[in-house]
Structure 1
Amino acid sequence: MSFTAQVKDELSRVEPPTREAELAQLSALVRVCGTLSFHGSGRYSIRIATETGAVARTIIKLTHKLFDLETALTVRRSVLHKTRNYLIEIPEQERLADDLEGLGILVPGRGIASGVPRQLLRTADGRRAFVRGAFMAGGFIADPRGDFHLEIAVTGETFAHGLVDVMGTLGVSARLNHRRGSFAIYLKSFDDVSCLLSAMGAHRMAQVVEVARVRKSVKNDVNRRVNAEVANQARSSSAAADQLDLIARAEREIGLSKLPPAVREFCRVRKANPELSLGALGQKLDPPASKSAMYHRLLRLQQLVGEVEETGNVPTQKKK
């Protein structure tokens, strides 16, 4: 079962606490994944398609409980994708138009509503139920162990903006993206996704997201540390190679025996330990020298080699 299906399965088991919340959830379910057909004055039928059995069960349960409407369920199987598809049909029947008005899908005298049903969203329970229905109908959530995000696909710009506003009242900052005639409301922040899951009632899956977030954070921290260490080692190796080249030039142009004792000692330990950093190299001396002291010896060596290569005069006196 995909992560999305697991979330929708948990949401299907959430019982809206009030009739208004039940109406809000059914309204979003029908609005997002349903198709309304007009058959004349006050005559309508509805077709609702979903690939999730839990969503189909929720729609049928709420439809029967709230309105006692006649429904027909057809289960089809895709040979190509080997998945089931559920088609719920609510045929033309008495009072269906009144029920659609109660769901805020029809506006008396004005036809199909373009925005969200504000009359059903006056309470926090109603808003949570509405967002829950919208996600169950058109939502997708990626596995949090990978490239994590959540989105809800809807039609109608006014409705999409209204849904974003409703999600905002639940503490969630959502973004809207226009895609080929439809709109995708999406979240990428772990905090927003976790907050939305909890608000909709998917507390168990919200905990799964939190665990995945902690694991990903630890993994990223380890990777950063490893990358930093690798980069440090690469810089140290490059610096050591440059120092060995400098020592070879000093040996060729001056002769190590003519170098000041401290500089000569630096050359000896560097040649013997090409893999060490300057700080670690200083610990090889007796007595040990600090990283700063080793750096100053390196600068002195650079100065001596530079002077010889520029003037051709080899130093005759050893200096400390």
Structure 2
Amino acid sequence: MKNELARVAGENNCCFIAELASLMRMGGTMLIGGNSNLGINFTTENAAVARKVLSLIKRFPLKTEVVVSRGRRLKKNNSYLIKAIPSPVVTELLSALGIMRGDNINAGKDTGLLRKACCRRAYLRGAFLGGGSVSRPEGDYHLELVTGNPDFAKTLQRLLKAFHLPAKMTDRKQDYIIYLKDGDAITSFLRIIGAHNALMNFETVRVVKEMRNQVNRLVNCETANLQKTVNAAVRQVEKIRFLLRRVGLDKLPPALRETAEIRLAYPEATLQELVALMERKVSKSGINHRLRKLEQMADSLDFDGNSEPAE
């Protein structure tokens, strides 16, 4: 997804500024050099993101350097460090990005960069490239943006809510996480930031997953109904046999006797199948009523489910 987003170009120059500002807030640090000049370091493990940042920075006449190092931890991923040495041009860039306001640092309130809709989309795209992730749609839906800046985190949450996305925020150790848990919200976010291919892939997997879940629900429901039918039939047969031993079926009213005999002859039949076997026309509810009446008669004779034939 980040490889795709790294190739998305902003609509206007203001979009480049907004996207770079968000990227810098996610993965950038400032350096202080001589004469109070400022420099920039940006670190990422994604080569496409590194190329994106480098291409945006090069719109300004900066002297940049790229350092690639290999991680020593388990994954041993490459780490890309983009360095811009302290200079007056870097200070101008940070002012253009809204990170510096005069001699003061702007903690994360970039309202001046977010006046246009295209800039707001670019800003969110930069935030995802710099510190975002989304889980595979085969599992639980989860998209998050991670930053160590609480003011920047609040800005992202407000921005997502402005797009009518139910963004929530929590903290994890020293980081702040803005996240989405709803599948529709995640697809809307992907559409907003321009990840159209990823959106199609996400939706394809999501549709298959929803259909599989729907089939499982129907199968489970059908299985439960079948088990319920089997349990009822077993119970009915046991009680009818109890009545046969205690009073005899010939003592029953004709309608109940016919129903009892058919149930004994076809213990595995459903109610609808019993209807088709009756000589006289009767409805499914009528058959059900007769079977309940037979069960009530057995219960009135102290049926306990463990009765044995009389010797």
Shared fold (TM-score greater than 0.5)?
Answer: yes
Secondary structure in 2 matching 1:144: coil
One-letter code aligned to 1:182: D
Distance 2:32 2:241 in 1: 91
Q: Is the 8 A contact 1:27 1:130 kept in 2?
A: yes
Deviation at 1:284, TM superposition (A): 2.2
The one-letter code of the counterpart of 1:212 is V
Q: Describe the SS at the equivalent of 1:152.
A: strand
Which of 82, 86, 90 in structure 2 is aligned with 1:88? 82
SS of aligned partner of 2:152 = helix
Provide the C-alpha distance between the structure 1 equivalents of 2:68 and 2:218, rounded to a whole number of angstroms.
52
- Structure 1 contact 44–97 (Cα < 8 Å) conserved: yes
Q: Could you list the per-position Cα deviations for residues 28-52 of structure 1 after superposition, in whole angstroms to 9, with x for gaps in the alignment?
A: 1111011223346623332221111
Q: How far did residue 206 of structure 1 move?
A: 1.5
What is the DSSP-based 3-state SS (H/G/I as helix, E as strand, rest coil) of the residue aligned with 1:72?
Answer: strand
1:93-104 alignment runs, 5 A limit? 93-104=87-98
Q: Work out the CA distance in 2 between the residues paired with 1:75 and 1:201.
A: 28
Contact 1:253/1:305 (<8 A) preserved: no
Find the aligned partners of 1:38 and 1:247 in 2 and give their Cα distance: 93
* Aligned mates of 1:197, 1:236 — CA distance in 2: 47
What do the CA deviations read for 1:257-302 (whole angstroms, capped 9, x no partner)? 3322322222222223333332332222224532111122113323
Give the deviation of 1:102 after TM superposition. Answer: 0.9
Identify if the C-alpha distance between structure 1 residues 309 and 19 changes in structure 2 by more than 3 Å, giving closer, same or farther: closer
Counterparts of 2:199 and 2:68, CA distance in 1? 30
Residue 13 (str. 1) matches residue 11 (str. 2): no
Aligned length: 302
Letter of the structure 2 residue corresponding to residue 12 of structure 1: A
Asked if 1:115 corresponds to 2:108, the answer is: yes
- Report how far residue 229 of structure 1 moved: 0.6
For 1:99 and 1:147, the matched residues in 2 are separated by 40
Q: Which runs of 5+ in 1 are unaligned?
A: 1-6, 311-320
Report the residue type matching 1:42 in the other structure.
S
Matched, 1:282 2:275: yes
- Specify the alignment match of 2:129 in structure 1: 136
> AA paired with 1:23?
I
TM-score for both structures, normalised by structure 2:
0.90
Residue in structure 1 matched with residue 56 of structure 2 by the alignment: 62
Q: 1:57 to 1:307 in 2, by over 3 A?
A: closer
Partner in structure 1 of residue 199 of structure 2: 206
Partner of 2:176: 183
Counterpart Cα distance in 2 of 1:309 and 1:88:
86
The 2-side partners of 1:306 and 1:188 are apart by 52
Report the Cα distance in structure 1 between the residues aligned to 2:65 and 2:160, rounded to whole angstroms: 32
SS of 1:36's partner is: strand
Equivalent-residue separation in structure 2 for 1:21 and 1:227 (angstroms): 51
Quick one: distance in 2 between partners of 1:99 and 1:68? 10
Name the SS of the counterpart of 1:91 in structure 2. Answer: strand
CA displacement at 1:16 relative to structure 2: 0.7
The counterpart of 2:225, out of the listed 212, 225, 232, is: 232
- Deviation for aligned residue 1:81: 0.8
- Residue 149 of structure 1 aligns with which residue? 142
Percentage of pairs with the same residue: 36
Question: In structure 2, what is the equivalent of residue 250 of structure 1?
Answer: 243
Separation of aligned partners in 1, 2:115 and 2:51 = 26
Per the TM alignment, residue 176 of structure 1 is displaced from its structure 2 partner at its CA by 0.9
Distance in 1 between the 2:69 and 2:275 partners?
A: 76
Superposed displacement of residue 98, structure 1: 1.9
Q: Is the 8 A contact 1:128 1:170 kept in 2?
A: no
Q: Please give the alpha-carbon distance, in whole angstroms, between the structure 2 residues aligned to 1:44 and 1:300.
A: 90
Q: Give the TM-score taking structure 1 as reference length.
A: 0.88
